[in-house]
Structure 1
């Protein structure tokens, strides 16, 4: 199989988005509501991943619900960035975690998804990686030629896989690329249907039991192709309830501080949310790169109001790479990338 198909039309995405909104259970999304009794009608629908990050601490400790008692907060679990993009098109999300690669896809084209990046959750490290089944005897990325490789298409793992293949001198058409979600990857791996996979935690740790790691997102970043887990907010929420965004940022900043100041408490929160042991949660958190709130708003990363940081360059570079790999029709322009940043109030709103 050659590279992934070009980005579907807005009509196709919108149809999928409406399906996501109407039948969350069918599409693999699940919800967890924390309703207030105020009857104010204010709501926040937050998309998250079952992936170790500050998001899970905010959710577990109900930091946002405490900060916004007059809001109804609903947490919706997603399996990949592609489905998050569809949900935003369907107007069924206000805030969500989203990888830097699907974000670059979302803001490309003549009809970009109406959202903006407002925070950085983490930088991909050893928590996303490319592994081959040990039984295949594959020992490096170049050895994947002619083999079947799975990854969730339109994800940061997909982007990093393409970058790793490129560095090894392989084109996407040199391997058989399969689009599978993490749980489906694990099942296909166990059946022997695939030779290798690029995926994230916790599925990644399951593959490590019988796999050989060929590269990781930390190594790919070292080659000039970093990926990040971002957090985006809808344009509609920015217009309707900017103070809620400020409260959410404060909650996320507190979670990042807790990862440093109360690591064991953070481990317990992540373990509870992922339904895993504290030892597993500790090991998974150790594989991520978590910035401090000060680093998030520094020139090295997200930046501040009026002064976007290097993330602007990273997103632009990602878009150009995806266009070069024919994953999207054209890279987003520099102007459209800058428009897709919501930095109002930073860093003062974190105080």
Structure 2
């Protein structure tokens, strides 16, 4: 989804090389960058899991919401947040731009929660009908990657007009009739689907070999200084995931209230993505382990190649860089119940 990701933490009362952020009362605070989608992080916030776990250590939590990974990366680059959720494409952008972060978690594998939709009055019924049309998406997002892949496969890259828009702007442009189609994610997707026809979903793209997902990046200044708190944060996400898996309807109700969305809309979004358990995240098909990297390294490298060849990033990270960037050690520690030094 687009653009995905995040969260930030701080410990108080310790002398360390990385100085925690401060709230208005000058207390230690973890700054958490959120992506406004129904995922484990939003559920952990809504159920106060994160706040309560860090309050036990006299640490506050500050939440910052981003519309996409583009703005989250700006905050990470400025060292003003500790963690950020985003689509994995923006993770590649962060690495390409040498932002001091690492990928520590996969929130969800994207499916029907993202899609390419054409306006009902646009005359578009097939992918081929996109020729000469105006298509909006959020550049550098997972939706952008999926759209570019579709256009490339249909030899339409130079036959359409692509417009870079944030999700709210896509909905506004759609209502004005300024665009003919859009590839976006929920909840904006739900709005345009009311007067549009779905041409392709990210679930279908995954079946064809293009896996997209939302990830969590962590500021290495924070993780290097506080690996234990990083594991604590991930354990909060696992706890939220367990709530969802135990009672999806209850989770949907909580998320709907937190995001001020219709509960049925939230249920559709949840059904359109796959939340991961730590065990699933550590499989050889995804993160793997610190000794045996998983196939997600190849997903990131393929994405980097695609973005570089399309001139969306200026530097193409090597596979070795990406293997170091994808760091499952914190998930491993959480899964095994280890306390990191």
What are the residue-to-residue correspondences of 1:172-251 with 2, within 5 Å?
Answer: 173-251=158-236
How far 1:345 moved relative to its partner? 4.2
> Could you say if the C-alpha distance between residues 161 and 289 of structure 1 is closer, same or farther in structure 2, counting changes exceeding 3 Å?
same
Could you say which residue in structure 2 is the equivalent of 1:140? 126
Residue 44 of structure 1 deviates from its aligned partner by 1.3
- Residue in structure 2 matched with residue 125 of structure 1 by the alignment: 111
CA distance in 1, matches of 2:114, 2:331: 29
Q: How far is the alpha carbon of 1:35 from its aligned partner?
A: 7.3
Runs of 4+ in structure 1 deviating by more than 6 angstroms, as ranges, are 34-37
- For the 8 Å contact 1:119–1:296, the answer to whether it is kept is yes
Please point out which of 253, 256, 263 is paired with 2:248: 263
**How far apart are the structure 1 equivalents of 2:333 and 2:228?**
13
1:324 aligns to 2:324 (yes or no): no
Q: How does 1:1-351 map to 2 (within 5 A)?
A: 41-69=27-55, 70-108=58-96, 111-171=97-157, 173-350=158-335, 351=337
Which residue is 1:4 aligned to? Answer: none
Counterpart Cα distance in 2 of 1:324 and 1:305? 29
Which range moved further: 197-206 or 268-277?
268-277
Please state whether the residue corresponding to 2:30 is helix, strand or coil. Answer: strand
The Cα shift of 1:259 comes to 1.4
**Paired residues of 1:89 and 1:114 also in contact (CA < 8 A):** yes
The 2-side partners of 1:45 and 1:345 are apart by: 19
Q: Distance in 1 between matches of 2:273 and 2:305?
A: 26
Aligned to 2:9: none
Give yes or no for contact 2:114–2:184 (8 Å, CA) kept in 1.
yes
TM-score scaled by length of structure 2: 0.88
Change in 2 beyond 3 A, CA 1:348/1:290: same
2:11 is aligned to none
Work out the CA distance in 2 between the residues paired with 1:280 and 1:187: 19
How many Å apart are 1:286 and its aligned residue? 1.2
How far apart are 1:326 and its partner, in Å? 2.0
* 1:225 CA displacement: 1.7
Gaps of 5+ in 2: 1-21
How many residues in Structure 1 have an aligned counterpart in Structure 2? 314
CA distance in structure 1 between the partners assigned to 2:310 and 2:62 by the alignment: 37
How far, CA to CA, are the matches of 2:265 and 2:88 in structure 1?
26
Partner secondary structure for residue 106 of structure 2: strand
Preserved contact between residue 60 and residue 273 of structure 1 (Cα < 8 Å): yes
C-alpha separation in 1, matches of 2:292 and 2:50: 27
Residue 107 of structure 1 and its aligned partner are, at CA, apart by 0.8
Q: Would the aligned equivalents of 1:256 and 1:293 in 2 still touch at CA under 8 Å?
A: no
Gaps in structure 1 of 5+ consecutive residues: 1-33
